Amino acid sequence: MNTLLSAQQLEQGVDDLAACIRRDYASRPLTVVGILTGSIVLLADLIRRIDLPLRVGLVQASSYRGGATRPGELRINDDLLPDVSGRDVLLVDDIFDTGHTMVALVEQVKRHGAASVRTAVLLRKQGRQEVDYTPDYIAFDIPDEFVVGYGLDYRDLYRNLPYLAALEADELDQSTPREQGV
Ligand code: IMP
Ligand code: MG
């Protein structure tokens, strides 16, 4: 495992993200919606830096991934989503990879009647996007490697690492497809 971003670099990135969000929303009330499970660490750090009237909600996205690293069929559970009708919503996720998760969730939140929907991600993986959409707030662009830590998992492990690390090819087992939260 190689460290890609230290805890200190992550902290700086989240500071910058929060500053942009505070500036753009000025004193407007905001509903921040974290995408389970990968966003939990970012969500906790980000909301404490945003000094606005703020609600927090969650949605769950999971995809059936071949060997856990390739994207598959997406399922969304919005039972935990608060009432967003007429509200300004900021969707938060750990990483923008192919982009399908974020695009599907933007549409879902719009269907629930949000007044506006913007998106914030900690990471964007270079050269992987399959959608015509760019998140509004991006802390870091990273190379096309499988990364873990700061909320991101490999087979549900490593979310608790305080830094971001890239897994080596021989640490990734591509064999058994399974369902996992993203
Ligand atoms: P997308 O729909 O392809 O953009 O996938 C986004 C989801 O896939 C994220 O919410 C992550 O949970 C997961 N994902 C994508 N790349 C990585 C990675 O490098 N490490 C861990 N999870 C990843
Ligand atoms: Mg994941």
Domains of the chain are 2-173 (3.40.50.2020)
| Model pTM score | 0.92
Mind listing the pLDDT tens digit for each residue in 105-160? 999 999 999 999 999 999 999 999 999 999 999 999 999 999 999 999 999 999 99
**Span 64-116, pLDDT tens digits:** 655 556 666 899 999 999 999 999 999 999 999 999 999 999 999 999 999 99
Strands, sheet with 147-148, edge to edge from the N-terminal-most edge strand: 2-5, 164-166, 147-148
Q: Is 101 in the pocket of ligand 1 (CB under 6 A)?
A: yes
Distance 153 CA to ligand 1 centre (A): 9
